[in-house]
Amino acid sequence: MAVFTYVLIMDETKLYSWFLGPKAENADLLERLILEALRDCVFWRRNFHPEDDILITEKVKREDAFQDSLALIRQEFLTLLANLKRDIPFYSPRYIGHMLGDQLLPAIAAYFAAMLHNPNNVTLEAAPITTQYELEVARQLARLMGYDGESWGHITSGGTIANFEALWVARNLKFFPIAVRDAARSLALEELPITLPTGETVNLVIADDNWLLLNLDTDETLKLRPCLHDLYAKRRTDLTQGEIEKQVNQQLAAHSISGKGIQRFFSDLGDEAVAAPLVLLPSTAHYSMQKIIEALGLGKQQIEMIPVDSHFRIDVDALSETLLRCAGERRPVMALVSVLGSTEEGAVDQIHRLVEVQVEMRKHGLTFYHHCDAAWGGYVRTLFFDKEGTPVKTPNAIREITQTWPADEVFESYSAIHRADSVTIDPHKLGYIPYPCGAIVFRHEGVKEMITTDAPYIFDGEEKRDRPFIGRYILEGSKPGAAAAACWFAHRVVPLNQSGYGLLIGKSIQSTQELCYRLGRELAPELAREGINLRILTQPPDGNIFCFVVNRVGNTSLKEMNRINQAIYDELKFNPESVIQRHNFIISSTALSFTQYGLRGPQGRGCLDEHLAALGIPSEQFSEVGSVKVLRCTVMSPWLALSSGGNPDFSAAFAAVLKHVIRSAAAVLAQ
């Protein structure tokens, strides 16, 4: 029926049906869906072999032991519910702390419905429905990023595992051409032509310069396996297709880093040894990148942090400089990680400019894998599709929803995301899906082969494209099919465009802008008259996160400024020892460390220089004290913008509370 098409449902009030609501206003809807799911499962069970005896008889239920157990379960369940009341009210517009918010009501219902069936998405044999949902969700997310049909992706337990897989692929890809060369030699092939990023063509079989082989494009590298296969098949017409396949695979396994391991791979290179490849991270990258790089055996020392600018975005000049240095020193670069929505600041790296630099570096014979960590920002791309699902061409088409957002460069950046080799997107962040639901999408399906492990038993018979055994291609094994169902269902009722998620995220961005307006344009001038300096570090915010710092005018001590901000935070943080009803607004905080945020680009500027100067703190204090305490708001809630003029108007109310807290903190600490 036409009434259910997304086009007709354009009015914003539909957003009000997507959440349980801060006062659980939609309790009846959720209860209806939950009961429907539960009873549906009950009667589904009763319809399977109805001729079988009832095992849990009414007679058994009257036994003392049964009744005692029931009483125990009920009693302890009340205790559990009581304990859970000490949880944090993420659903409230008053919670603007970490990357945590309410979940979509339909997602909760779908998670529950699928959980009752206990599907395990390791394989279609353990989850016939939800495995298909997972792959459909991955295709949707790939399209959302602008990838075409050649892409591949899946759901993970979270962003860390998604990022892990991307860098795992990047590592194995980097060294794959060397493995192919050595395999080709073992197979006695004489020629295997490859194209270098400079456009030059060389014969891989006789290429002794490993530097060249460490600098092929991703596309070129992915052609090598089929190419090796075809050439060997041509040479050995005496062998069957299966034997060709087997021998090629054996040789690749014998020479690849997957087979040899890092230690032997490099010791076998002997005189042709290469320097350990670098991984380039913005200094804003999530700390899990360090875990990942360490676990992959690459070593934390191979991380080179690229400084960010005063908007906390990668300093593109610094990146160029580093890459040119690497090209000059013949230091391989394994990967560049860009961030769309940094954890602390919500900063959006300028993907379009990074990609230009990447193209430029090809002339210098330097290539690298580009992974984009859009765990936070991925779903923001839903604003880039209009209500009919057509990509928008200009930022103005988005500003109709969000008014001032996005800045031109933020628009350009999000528009270039398809140029990355892979993207991490967390449905359990701005997809408003219950944990655990992360996702990774790769531009090329071929990367699967880079990390495949054959499993002997789960999938019966030949794998077909429509009956995939996901576990072969990913790090994890067992996975909740319920997460896939939740995400799939959410995408079905909240479309991945401006009529759905775009509307929701648009409202959260609008809420952020309102808060920044209240703090920057109203509260700051008022405090300034009282000798208090309030500075928003991310103005305008690149999305729905912002950071701010408070100082007393005249205070030049960073330690003292940190104390002031700590005191403010202490009043606005979540305190698990207190009852939740005592909390008013809840924010988060962070400490920007000198190690990461003290880095300087080629112009000699550090990202905090301008901010510290405006706050009256001499920049040398940063290195002495070691970190700057910063207050941080993450605004997942759409309600702040929608409460405008209400009681309370949450933005205004937050500004009022903050004013009071800042005054007290500044007054006490001034003594």
Q: Pattern 575-614, binding to a second copy, x per CB under 8 A?
A: -x---xx------xxxxxx--x------------------
Applying CB under 8 A, does 257 fall inside the site for a second copy? yes
Question: CB under 8 A: which stretch of 28-36, 184-192, 557-565, 657-665 binds a second copy?
Answer: 28-36
Applying CB under 8 A, does 671 fall inside the site for a second copy? no
496 three-state secondary structure: coil
Question: CB under 8 A: which stretch of 41-49, 143-151, 185-193, 308-316 binds a second copy?
Answer: 41-49
Give min distance, CB of 623 to a second copy, in A.
15
Give min distance, CB of 638 to a second copy, in A.
10
Across 632-654, b (16+ Cβ under 10 Å) vs e yields bbbbbbbbbbbbeeeeebbbbbb
Q: Pattern 292-321, binding to a second copy, x per CB under 8 A?
A: --xxxxxxxxx-------------------
Nearer to a second copy, 20 or 662 (CB): 20
User: How many residues are given for the chain?
Assistant: 671
Applying CB under 8 A, does 458 fall inside the site for a second copy? yes
Question: CB under 8 A: which stretch of 224-232, 392-400, 514-522, 643-651 binds a second copy?
Answer: 643-651
Nearer to a second copy, 62 or 529 (CB): 62
485-504: which residues touch a second copy (CB under 8 A)? 485, 489, 492-493
**CA angle, residues 404, 406, 412, in degrees to nearest 5:** 150
Give min distance, CB of 525 to a second copy, in A.
28
In the numeric block, the tokens 């962003």 are attached to 159
Tell which one of 218, 258, 338, 621 touches a second copy (CB under 8 A).
258
Ramachandran category for residue 240: left, alpha or beta (phi over 0 → left; psi -120 to 50 → alpha): beta
Applying CB under 8 A, does 389 fall inside the site for a second copy? no
412-451: which residues touch a second copy (CB under 8 A)? 426, 428, 434-436, 438, 451
Give min distance, CB of 201 to a second copy, in A.
30
Question: CB under 8 A: which stretch of 64-72, 230-238, 359-367, 400-408 binds a second copy?
Answer: 64-72
348-387: which residues touch a second copy (CB under 8 A)? none
Tell which one of 22, 365, 389, 616 touches a second copy (CB under 8 A).
22
Applying CB under 8 A, does 2 fall inside the site for a second copy? no
Give min distance, CB of 205 to a second copy, in A.
23
Question: CB under 8 A: which stretch of 152-160, 306-314, 403-411, 526-534 binds a second copy?
Answer: 152-160
Applying CB under 8 A, does 219 fall inside the site for a second copy? no
Task: Determine contact, residues 160/288, Cβ cutoff 8 Å.
Answer: yes
Q: By 3-state DSSP, what share of the chain in percent is helix, strand and coil, each rounded to 5? A: 50, 15, 35
Nearer to a second copy, 110 or 430 (CB): 110
Applying CB under 8 A, does 669 fall inside the site for a second copy? no
76-105: which residues touch a second copy (CB under 8 A)? 76-78, 80-81, 83-94, 98, 100-103, 105
Euclidean distance between CA atoms 233 and 246, whole angstroms? 11
Task: Determine contact, residues 563/669, Cβ cutoff 8 Å.
Answer: yes
| Residue 96, strand partner residues | 587
174-213: which residues touch a second copy (CB under 8 A)? none
Euclidean distance between CA atoms 666 and 395, whole angstroms? 41
- Tokens representing 451? 């990390």
Give min distance, CB of 496 to a second copy, in A.
15
Applying CB under 8 A, does 7 fall inside the site for a second copy? no
84 class by beta-carbon count within 10 Å (0-12 exposed, 13-18 middle, 19+ buried): exposed
620 three-state secondary structure: helix
In the numeric block, the tokens 């909240």 are attached to 494
Applying CB under 8 A, does 288 fall inside the site for a second copy? yes
Applying CB under 8 A, does 635 fall inside the site for a second copy? no
Total of residues contacting a second copy (CB under 8 A): 191
Give min distance, CB of 103 to a second copy, in A.
6
Applying CB under 8 A, does 478 fall inside the site for a second copy? yes
Nearer to a second copy, 202 or 303 (CB): 303
106-135: which residues touch a second copy (CB under 8 A)? 106, 108-120, 124-130
DSSP-derived pairing of the beta strands 586-593 and 95-96: parallel
Applying CB under 8 A, does 24 fall inside the site for a second copy? yes
- The DSSP annotation for 258-314 comes to HHHHHHHHHHHHGGG--PPPEEEEETTS-THHHHHHHHTTS-GGGEEEEPB-TTSSB
- Tokens representing 158? 């979270």
Task: Determine contact, residues 458/125, Cβ cutoff 8 Å.
Answer: yes
Question: CB under 8 A: which stretch of 318-326, 457-465, 613-621, 663-671 binds a second copy?
Answer: 457-465
**CA angle, residues 64, 116, 113, in degrees to nearest 5:** 135
Task: Determine contact, residues 192/203, Cβ cutoff 8 Å.
Answer: yes
Applying CB under 8 A, does 247 fall inside the site for a second copy? no
Applying CB under 8 A, does 553 fall inside the site for a second copy? no
What DSSP state is assigned to residue 188?
T
In the numeric block, the tokens 């997460």 are attached to 483
Applying CB under 8 A, does 574 fall inside the site for a second copy? yes
Question: CB under 8 A: which stretch of 56-64, 408-416, 508-516, 600-608 binds a second copy?
Answer: 56-64
- Tokens representing 191? 């020629």
Applying CB under 8 A, does 249 fall inside the site for a second copy? no
- Taking alpha carbons only, the member of 596, 603, 648, 644 closest to residue 623 is 596
Euclidean distance between CA atoms 123 and 135, whole angstroms? 11
91 three-state secondary structure: coil
Q: Determine if the peptide bond prior to 226 is cis (ω within 30°).
A: no
Euclidean distance between CA atoms 268 and 81, whole angstroms? 60
- Quickly count: other Cβ atoms within 10 Å of residue 624's Cβ: 10
Give min distance, CB of 484 to a second copy, in A.
11
Give min distance, CB of 306 to a second copy, in A.
17
Give min distance, CB of 409 to a second copy, in A.
25
Applying CB under 8 A, does 476 fall inside the site for a second copy? yes
- Tokens representing 293? 């790089």
In the numeric block, the tokens 């419905």 are attached to 113
Nearer to a second copy, 89 or 365 (CB): 89
**Where do the H-state alpha helices sit in 573-619?**
594-597, 609-615
Give min distance, CB of 445 to a second copy, in A.
19
